[in-house]
Amino acid sequence: MSINWNGRTVLVTGAEGFIGSTLVDLLVDRGATVRAMVHYKPYAEKGFLARYFDDPHSPVEMIAGDVGDAGRVMDAVAGCDTVFHLAALIGIPYSYDAPGAYVRTNVVGTENVAEACRRHAVRRLLHTSTSEVYGTAQTAPISETHPLQPQSPYSASKIGADMMALSHWHAFELPVTVVRPFNTYGPRQSARAVIPTILAQLHAGAETIRLGSLTPTRDFTYVTDTASGFLALADCDRALGESVNLGTGREISVGDLAAALITASGREARVVADPARLRPSGSEVERLLSDNTRAREWAGWQPHVSLEDGLRRTSRWVAENIHLFSPGRYQV
């Protein structure tokens, strides 16, 4: 039987982000009281959670802060049943320029969250990983026992964060699960990711779509499927102290993805490789394909949105929100 979220207080770190805000919506729909930890911004921009913050009877409480601040995290976790830790510094290209920032936010921030969960005896911590920790697939599909390969400072910081979370299971019996989404996409995703990058260019009328390498393959999961995976794993005792993939088990090359997005958008364009968008040769992850056996068999999770349907939904959202993007600029 799945968890009854009514009356449960949960914390979502990184709550204003793409996956985080979708997870908040899902938790509210299920009746939870949500603390949304968001990065402090002095200009009061509320993003995708604005409707909750403007409602005096909202089931969502905003807590501005930074996971790098241990005291602030400790206060945010107090009294929570479940903590979903999604806050992270993301984006591979920027990690080449500022690797230390990734260590501070992703590794130290995760330690702060795990320690606060231990001190306050939360029922469950769900820590967010990424398929990037696997690097280029040595075997496919990729199971959770695949070697971890730090092919970028970003992936190295996430490997460190995963190990920090799991160390609290082994050392302190903290009830933690590492949730490892493959390439999540959908409405609200920023232009740093390949799908909104392509769609923003298409809906801005570009006749030439500029991308990095066209040959790598990825396993794309629609954002509501990823969010439902977090909830499924929050109720899965078998996943305690373990890492669990959330992916579809289907791969597509970046080049074929671009063609599918051109079809989904109803536009016409040609695709070219842009050298400025290429990763360093030793850092490019050539293949990611998920083995989602654990998620299916342990937690009863499976994706419901097909790639074709998900791309159409995402295309409509980008077209309606083109003002959020700068299609002519490479977003690191």
Enumerate the active-site residues. 154
Within 8 A by CB and 6+ apart from 283, the residues are: 92, 96, 151, 152
Q: Cα(233)–Cα(240) distance, rounded to whole angstroms?
A: 9
Helix and strand totals (H; E) in the chain: 12, 13
CB-side exposure of 70: number of CA atoms within 13 Å?
A: 10
- Please say whether the beta carbons of 223 and 189 come within 8 A: yes
- The C-alpha atoms of residue 222 and residue 238 are separated, in whole angstroms, by 25
**What Å distances lie between residue 101 and 18, 148, 193, 231, CA to CA?**
20, 21, 20, 29
Pairwise CA distance, residues 218 & 78, whole Å: 38
